[in-house]
Amino acid sequence: MEKKKLGSGQLDLIGESVAKMDRNELALEKSALQKYIRRGLVEKAMYHAYAMSTVDTGWSLWKRLNIIAVEDVLDPVAILAVAELGKQASKYGYGEWDGKRCAVAAAKIMAESSKDRSADEFLEVMDYCSKHRDDEDCKKRILELGELDDYVFDVHTPQGRKMGRGDKYWYEESSKVTNPSDRYIRFNDFIRKQMQRESV
């Protein structure tokens, strides 16, 4: 397939300013930016972030960068980094040197990051199932996801209180976590020992 050059968003190699993009050209720039970030093509992603770093298109650029951070990257550090860089770019001015550097940095961070589209794809599945309620696979999946486990019913729910579940049940069962930090394991061990002494 023949590669297509962008229109007014294509930067002039002799340093002339980027002309104002129309809606179609801006849509193409945003698409290019997102695809190159997804594929880890760092310099191409940086280039298209730079191309949109103007007074006219800066807001649209940063809206797209923040969407990409959640849709394609889904790394907490990257999400926060992009959000903070966007604030800085707005303060400096989208078309200014410092504002452009923020945009290029955001594109670089995300292009180099590992990718995870599971949140967006989960929404796609939920959207499909909401429109195809007779689909047997969807029915089964929704029933599995919607089924409440026993430990949900604790002192914080009317059902749990009716079952006589108080603070002891909450600490022993409903407050359990997976993937605890080492610090929390030590702290939790201390708390549980204190609770056991109080219950004697």
Tell me how crowded residue 33 is: count the other CB atoms within 10 A of its CB.
27
Question: What percent of the chain is helix, strand and coil (3-state, nearest 5)?
Answer: 65, 0, 35
Query: Are both 83 and 106 inside the same structural domain?
Result: yes
Residue 63 maps to a domain: yes
Residue 134 maps to a domain: yes
Whether 111 shows a pLDDT value over 60: the answer reads: yes
Query: Are both 139 and 107 inside the same structural domain?
Result: no
Q: State residue 17's pLDDT score.
A: 41
For Cα atoms 157, 195, 162, give the angle at the middle one, nearest 5 degrees: 20
Kindly state the helix (H) or strand (E) to which residue 30 belongs, with its residue range: helix 23-38
Quickly state the pLDDT bin for 191 (edges 50, 70, 90).
Answer: confident
Sign of CA dihedral 82, 110, 124, 57: positive
Query: Are both 168 and 135 inside the same structural domain?
Result: no
Range of the domain at 59: 23-112
Query: Are both 59 and 91 inside the same structural domain?
Result: yes
pLDDT (tens digit, 9 = 90+) per residue, 55-76?
899 999 999 999 999 999 999 9
Domain count, the chain: 3
Domain termination residue (choose one: 103, 126, 147): 147
Query: Are both 32 and 58 inside the same structural domain?
Result: yes
Residue 168 maps to a domain: yes
Tell me how crowded residue 81 is: count the other CB atoms within 10 A of its CB.
18
Query: Are both 163 and 131 inside the same structural domain?
Result: no
Query: Are both 32 and 100 inside the same structural domain?
Result: yes
Q: What is the pTM of this model?
A: 0.82
